[in-house]
Amino acid sequence: MSEETRLIVGRYRLLDRLGRGGMGTVWRADDELLGRRVAVKELHVDEGGIGRSASPYTSAAAPLREARAVARVKHPHVIVVHDVVVDDGLPYIVMELVDGGSLADRIARGGPVDVAEAARIGLALLGALRAAHGLGVLHRDLKPANVLLEESTGRVVLTDFGIAYLAGSTTITESGSFVGSPEYTAPERMQGVTAGPESDLWSLGVLLCAVVSGESPFRRDSLGGILHAVVEDEIRPPAQVAPLLPVVLGLLERDPARRLGAAQAEELLRTYVTTGSVPAAVAGHYSPTQQDVPRTPVLPVAVPPTPTPAPTPTPPTPTPTPSPAPASRRRAPLLAAAALVAALAGAGAVTAVVMQGGGDGDAGRSTDAVPSRSVEGRTPEVRTDQSPAPATTPTPRVSVTVPEGYRAVTDPGGFALAVPDGFARSHDDKRVYYMPPDKGIRIGIRVQDRAPDGPLGAMRGSDVQGPDTNPGYRDGKVTATTHNGLPAALWEFTWNGFSRAEGPRRTLDICWDEGGRMYDVWVSAPVGRLDEARRHFDTVLDSFTAAG
């Protein structure tokens, strides 16, 4: 009997392979006893390297126990499990056959879905998760590749509970493999904390971002970058998710105790489906409003009107700054992520399990059109001055006037400036940051190609996009100015920050063209530290020197 038509347990005849992932191979099959078409998932089991594929399962007992738990979940948006069997030592799960591809397939073929469709899918998945969680079953791998869309009816079906288990399971299995897809995995699981239903809700928040934009907001170029983005980076949902922002920000709350609950998320999505809008706040979850923000007058930034040497700034009056968090507490998330990377590096099944099935977007999608993306951007990945960003222009060797409390920096990115003492350099693939340990005040620099409509047009475009790129965007103002005699544009605005802990912030951003490039320099700070931020902003601009 050929592999393609083999019969298992004398009943299920495997016909053609529908797909293969890190957890198993799915076959279209005939149930010859009942005369119906089914889907059969052959689970991968690694028994001392003898199994058909590397797998986190070391025996048939664990996946069968999990599959039986999932079979108890009865819900129209959960895949129906008909049978769980073992044939020739290999475990199989027999399920209903859904005539249609996955959500990942749909995005790959036709691009992101609209917000209304995302809300419909989100509601269906919330119903499925609530049914599973009610029986103590966690999915632990919610992502577009594990959501099926029935072609004839549009029915949403949550499938691939292959790594699901009862609440209390861990992220690293006894064989040392990572359980799940990193871009969709909740931070508490990344840090090795016992996860509960809240972890699946985090994954749903990521999925909503991915289906409307084409990619997860935590997509990075490396596994280490993904882990850092999930655990430590600022969370910046894509602009397309703006109509559902209260839902997404609630689900992407890093503290599981404060994360939006399934019932609350369902209520908000139903409100959107019914009315076309979502309330800004929901009981039990914080959502900043304009009333939370102290009104601070906008002051002009002093820039010299003609190209004269930068004057020596008057030493600033020292301003108290908050004490940074204890080093042990600050390092804990990154140490956990580092340990996870080490575990992944040593696990034989890493490639198959970790990197499977993402394929639902273009990792190279650019956001270079206007500098709005560079105002805050993502908190940089774990890169320091020991691994600098490649410089596209020669590093300048210039003298920088340094006032008291600052130090001169010649940056590998092709510029020099003065930064406050204690501010450390970091970067991502587009921009450079200088920040203190608490990251309260952030200095950012980006060097990019000149915008077709010049600095003023670029900043006006950023202002238009402000409500989509900065939660709670308000008091935006773009002013034509100069920097060292060169035409420039200053953009100022207030926004809510990305979390309650961060709170309302004020951003000052100036860009200008020089030497065939556009330089974009900004300072962002809590509204209560605006005077300190303005002092840093003025000092950075007075001392800033581009590569010659």
Q: How many CA atoms lie within 13 A of 368 on its CB side?
A: 14
Contact 156, 125 (CB under 8 A): yes
| Pairing of the two strands 432-435 and 424-427 | antiparallel
Tally of CB atoms within 10 A around 235: 21
Q: Report how far residue 86's alpha carbon sits from residue 157's, in angstroms, rounded to the nearest whole number.
A: 25
Residue position matching structure tokens 């850092």: 228
Contact 140, 180 (CB under 8 A): yes
Active-site entry in 140, 220, 431, 446 = 140
CA angle 416, 421, 426 (to 5 degrees): 60
**Angle between the N-to-C axes of helices 197-213 and 262-275, in degrees from 0 to 180, rounded to the nearest 10:** 30
Burial category of 86 from C-beta neighbours within 10 Å (exposed 0-12, middle 13-18, buried 19 and up): middle
Q: Report how far residue 122's alpha carbon sits from residue 169's, in angstroms, rounded to the nearest whole number.
A: 25
Three-state SS for 284? coil
Picking from 264, 323, 248, 294, the residue whose alpha carbon sits closest to that of residue 474 is 294
Q: Report how far residue 129's alpha carbon sits from residue 207's, in angstroms, rounded to the nearest whole number.
A: 14
The token pair at 457 is 């047009």
Q: Is position 431 annotated as part of the catalytic site?
A: no
Picking from 299, 293, 237, the residue whose alpha carbon sits closest to that of residue 502 is 293
Q: Report how far residue 230's alpha carbon sits from residue 197's, in angstroms, rounded to the nearest whole number.
A: 18
Q: Report how far residue 408's alpha carbon sits from residue 411's, in angstroms, rounded to the nearest whole number.
A: 10
For residue 115, the surrounding DSSP H or E stretch is helix 115-134
What are the CA-CA distances from residue 114 to residues 213, 214, 273 (Å)?
9, 11, 12
Q: What are the φ and ψ backbone dihedral angles of 41, each rounded to 5 degrees?
A: -100, 120
Three-state SS for 252? coil
Tally of CB atoms within 10 A around 326: 9
List residues with catalytic annotation: 140
